[in-house]
């Protein structure tokens, strides 16, 4: 049976765990060959590769530090060369630095911006050079860019808010080429770094309308929609998948 992403090639940055790994798996299930970047855990990356292969698709894991602009561009070009094309880019890799503003220096600022802002720009620019009509660029932001209920998120929220401007600018610029650019802002999602049974979980759930954490698979479902044929007329948009956190 033909799947909606048959013949497509996707690259997911930060795809070895959490939301990124769920996105990799979903795109493969929908028929895409999928590459992803990772930084440290080669064993975990290998598990994700095997999951893609078990779906009958080609897989590729690329070790690349998103704080290194050259490494980000090289990863995009390497994937396009290996698979012969690139149709879908998912900017997922991010750093999550939480601290009072008086404790944040320029080193923390630079490292956060390098991964959360510069890397998506570099990856999108590099990917667009390989994409044709029907290309998709999707970034993973955060509900923190739109609603702030805890102190200490200033730097992180700023970096994620920048993705909305990147999305709108690229959406306008790449639209004539048939390339869509969109942003997903997840709310609280149950991952290793943000467990549903963590010390602040009940408080966090209370800020959502649905009273629960989301799952990585629910975010991956939104990515799949944007990457597939049903998302072809949506661009420059920010979509909140947050259980009503930002209502």
- Where in the chain are the domains? 9-241
Specify the DSSP element, H or E, that contains 12. Answer: strand 9-12
Structure tokens belonging to residue 46: 């290998």
Distance CA 14, CA 93 (A): 4
Does residue 194 surpass a pLDDT of 90?
no
For tokens 């909305």, name the residue: 164
DSSP 35: E
| Tens digits of residue pLDDT in 34-68 | 999 999 999 999 999 999 999 999 999 999 999 99
| Tens digits of residue pLDDT in 63-87 | 999 999 999 999 999 999 999 999 9
Q: What is the DSSP annotation of 82-144? A: HHS---EEEE---------GGG--HHHHHHHHIIIIIHHHHHHHHHHTT--TT-EEEEE--GG
Nearest to 121 by CA among 179, 71, 72: 72
User: Would you state the pLDDT for residue 101?
Assistant: 95
Nearest to 13 by CA among 98, 78, 75, 100: 75
Mean pLDDT of the residues in the chain: 97
Distance CA 217, CA 182 (A): 18
The answer to whether residue 38 is catalytic is no
Fold of the domain spanning 9-241: Rossmann fold (3.40.50)
Beta bridge partners of 87: none
Distances (CA, A) of 83 to 7, 127, 222: 10, 13, 25
Distance CA 195, CA 245 (A): 17
Q: Among 38, 156, 225, 233, which one carries the catalytic annotation? A: 156
Structure tokens belonging to residue 208: 């959502």
| Tens digits of residue pLDDT in 121-180 | 999 999 999 999 999 999 999 999 999 999 999 999 999 999 999 999 999 999 999 999
Structure tokens belonging to residue 23: 């996105």
């Amino acid at each position: 049976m033909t799947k909606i992403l048959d013949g497509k090639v996707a690259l997911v940055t930060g795809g070895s765990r959490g939301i990124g790994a769920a996105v990799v798996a979903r795109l493969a299930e929908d028929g895409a060959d999928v590459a992803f970047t990772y930084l440290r855990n080669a064993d975990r990356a290998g598990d994700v590769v095997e999951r893609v292969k078990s779906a009958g698709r080609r897989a590729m894991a690329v070790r690349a530090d998103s704080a290194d602009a050259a490494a980000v561009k090289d990863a995009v070009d390497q994937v396009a060369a290996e698979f012969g094309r690139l149709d879908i880019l998912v900017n997922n890799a991010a750093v999550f630095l939480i601290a009072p503003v008086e404790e944040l220096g320029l080193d923390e600022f630079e490292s956060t911006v390098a991964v959360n802002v510069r890397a998506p720009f570099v990856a999108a620019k590099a990917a667009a050079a390989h994409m044709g009509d029907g290309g998709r660029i999707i970034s993973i932001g955060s509900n923190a860019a739109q609603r702030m209920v805890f102190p200490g998120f200033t730097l992180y929220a700023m970096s994620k808010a920048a993705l909305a401007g990147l999305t709108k600018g690229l959406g306008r610029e790449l639209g004539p080429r048939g390339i869509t650019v969109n942003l997903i802002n997840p709310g609280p999602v149950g991952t290793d770094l943000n467990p549903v049974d963590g010390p602040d979980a009940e408080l966090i759930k209370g800020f959502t309308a649905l009273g629960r954490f989301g799952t990585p698979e629910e975010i991956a479902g939104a990515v799949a929609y944007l990457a597939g044929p049903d998302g072809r007329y949506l661009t420059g948009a920010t979509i909140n998948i947050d259980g009503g956190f930002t209502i």
